[in-house]
Amino acid sequence: MSEPFRVLVLGGTTESRRLAEILVPDPRLQVTSSLAGRVSRPSLPPGDVRIGGFGGADGLAHWLRAHQVDALIDATHPFATVISHNAALAAATAHVPLLALRRPSWVPVAGDDWHPADGLPEAAEVLSALGARRVFLTTGRMGLAAFAHLDAAWFLVRSVDAPEPPHPSRMDVLLDRGPFGLNGERDILRRHRIDTLVTKDSGGAATAPKLTAAREAGIPVVVVRRPAGAAGVPVVTTSSEAADWVVRQLSGSG
């Protein structure tokens, strides 16, 4: 029996779990999904799973070699810039083909009142300029220090796990995990009298209903732009496309 074609998926996203669901049943493949371990109760994909960091680009390159990985897929969050940069360096060092799986960015439609920002500190500046008083902050529990000085505003922070200081002094926390429905998002905006929404351009359908709810309510949305991806890495936008890429790599390996 020939050796399996070994695939490492850097995951933690809906797309990465769907990719594992597609790939794992293929008997020719051995699929390992790697999760960062930043949430206490991650939703585990099928197949082999490892949790935790690799120790930078060198550590990841060592892991790729030690486990004889044949293909690497970066299916992490669009804002996980450190691991994406390390993946590009490690793949080049270990001579392993690399693909990035990125859900498409959100695109504003008629009626949206979007205010772009390059990073969380700029998003805080935009909030001040807008005179925001009751803010629905959906950027996760990391990076709340950027908003800690905004004493005039009250924040509703939604995250999977409870945030740690520093964070805004006037803040309530809503512990929840997507996907989120439109009716639920409408209720949050109405019940908490939200006047401004802050979000990262994560893309995808799981958290998009908040944008629709904000548009219906006439609420401005501060949208943090995505950082640039690693240069030279091919990108696909669906799990099916990523699975097709794996099959092509498998066929090319002989």
What is residue 237's predicted lDDT score, i.e. its pLDDT? 95
Q: What number is the average pLDDT over the span 23-28?
A: 97
Q: Are 203 and 105 in contact (CB under 8 A)?
A: yes
Res 62 pLDDT > 80: yes
User: Per-residue confidence at 148, pLDDT binned at 50, 70, 90?
Assistant: very high
Alpha-helix residue ranges (DSSP H) falling in the chain = 14-23, 56-66, 81-94, 120-130, 182-191, 209-217, 239-252
- More confident of the two residues 39 and 201: 201
What is residue 169's predicted lDDT score, i.e. its pLDDT? 93
User: Per-residue confidence at 22, pLDDT binned at 50, 70, 90?
Assistant: very high
What is residue 39's predicted lDDT score, i.e. its pLDDT? 64
15, 29, 80, 135, 227 from 70: Cα distances, Å: 20, 10, 23, 46, 28
Q: Which two tokens stand for residue 129?
A: 């300029």
Q: To the nearest whole number, what is the mean pLDDT of the chain? A: 94
Percent of the chain having pLDDT more than 90? 85
Nearest to 164 by CA among 187, 145, 147: 145
In this predicted structure, which of 6-10, 175-179, 207-211 has the lowest mean pLDDT?
175-179
Alpha-helix residue ranges (DSSP H) falling in 67-162 = 81-94, 120-130
Res 38 pLDDT > 80: no
> Which domains, from first to last, does the chain contain?
5-104+228-252 (3.40.50.720), 114-224 (3.40.50.1980)
- From the CA atom positions of the chain, what is the Rg in Å? 20
pTM: 0.89
Q: pLDDT of 75-107, one tens digit each?
A: 999 999 999 999 999 999 999 999 999 999 999
Q: Which contacts qualify for 123-131: CB closer than 8 Å, 24 or more apart?
A: 123/147, 123/198, 123/222, 123/224, 124/149, 124/150, 126/222, 127/153, 127/196, 127/198, 127/222, 130/196, 130/220, 130/222
Res 9 pLDDT > 90: yes
Res 197 pLDDT > 70: yes
User: Per-residue confidence at 206, pLDDT binned at 50, 70, 90?
Assistant: confident
Q: Are 204 and 226 in contact (CB under 8 A)?
A: no
In this predicted structure, which of 27-36, 172-181, 245-254 has the lowest mean pLDDT?
245-254
End-to-end CA distance of the chain: give it in Å, rounded: 14
Q: Are 77 and 202 in contact (CB under 8 A)?
A: yes
What is residue 230's predicted lDDT score, i.e. its pLDDT? 84
What is residue 142's predicted lDDT score, i.e. its pLDDT? 87
Res 130 pLDDT > 60: yes
User: Per-residue confidence at 228, pLDDT binned at 50, 70, 90?
Assistant: confident
What is residue 254's predicted lDDT score, i.e. its pLDDT? 53
22, 211, 229 from 117: Cα distances, Å: 36, 16, 17
Q: What number is the average pLDDT over the span 123-133?
A: 97
